[in-house]
Amino acid sequence: MKSKILAIITASLAVVLLALLTIIALLPSSTAYSILCSGSEGHSRLYENTKPVILLSYSDLESLPPNRTVLVAAVTREWGVQQALYLKHYLENGGTAIIYGNPNILGRNLVLLGINVSVESTTIYDQVLSYRNRLYPRVELPKYNTSIYVYKPFVIKGDLDPVGYTSIFSYADLNGNGHYDLGEPIDSFPVAFEARVGLGKVLIVSAPRVFTNDLFDLNKDLLHVLSNNKTLVLDQVSIDNTVVDYIRMYWLKQKYDYIITGFLVLVAGVIAYLASKYL
């Protein structure tokens, strides 16, 4: 009788543990720029196709060789002073970073790197040379001998070197209604810039989406040009991760996903054994 009660308790705990681990492992993420998010704003395709180093703490930049790595940082969170110092040190020693993201956050983060910029709320649209619709203008980058498509680029000004421009058919939506109105400027607008930080370089794209799932296949050539035999590092610090997101990314970073899968199989086997023997 005691054996049966013990078996029931053990099986129940195993079921709870199995359910918890399964939820953590399989629960879809909707976090923008997360490697776990398969939606349009996610970075799952970037992760699957390039297998970058996952950055979960900016202090880890100290262990990376700056001249042999390229950091991709899409930001939705403002950096702390210490985080900015780690990144600035990485750049000053020859690192390369590609930064884009939320316009309200991007400008403040760049200032922490010593790059003086101001971000305006004006969005750039293009009815002619775009992907899908006017929200995705094409951007020519002659220096990199390629072009990209970005989502809803915005105006950014400062001590920057423009390297990427929209077409001559694009317009600045000054009144913010999403459409062209008489008097709004039609021109080629800079939306990609370079800035030097010590020995390093930052490529700034003033848009919320560049290498996200909806645009990765169109823009991956730029990644290849920038990485050029260097290791790609993907920032997962500057995004709004949930606790579950962080746990899953830690598993992936430490290669624990295979161990967890094996453990799930083991727990399922124990439950099946106990059920057949005692229940």
Quick: pLDDT tens for 224-267. 999 888 999 999 998 887 777 767 777 676 654 554 555 555 55
pLDDT tens figures, 10-20: 555 555 544 45
Provide the mean pLDDT of the chain.
Answer: 85
pLDDT at res. 159: 86
Identify the DSSP state of 188. Answer: -
3-state percent breakdown (helix, strand, coil) of the chain, nearest 5 = 40, 25, 35
pLDDT at res. 250: 72
pLDDT above 90: residue 193:
yes
Please name the residues in contact with 110: beta carbons below 8 A apart, sequence gap of 6 or more.
99, 117, 158, 195, 202, 204
- CB atoms < 10 A from the CB of 170, how many? 26
H-run or E-run covering 220:
helix 216-227
pLDDT above 90: residue 6:
no
Tell me the whole-structure pTM to 2 decimals: 0.82
**Residue-wise over 235-254: b if at least 16 C-beta within 10 A, else e?**
bbbbbebeeebeebbebbbe
Average pLDDT rounded to a whole number, residues 104-133: 93
Identify the DSSP state of 151. Answer: B
pLDDT at res. 256: 47
Average pLDDT rounded to a whole number, residues 89-96: 96
| Measured distance CA(246)–CA(251) in Å, rounded | 9
Pairing of strands 231-235, 69-75: parallel
pLDDT at res. 241: 74
pLDDT above 90: residue 109:
yes
Nearest 5°: the CA angle 228, 232, 237 is 155
**Residue-wise over 39-67: b if at least 16 C-beta within 10 A, else e?**
eebbbbbbbeebebebbeebebbeebebe
pLDDT tens figures, 135-156: 999 999 999 999 999 999 999 9
Average pLDDT rounded to a whole number, residues 40-48: 95
pLDDT above 60: residue 278:
no
pLDDT above 50: residue 166:
yes
Percentage of residues of the chain with pLDDT beyond 90: 66
Which amino acid, 240? D
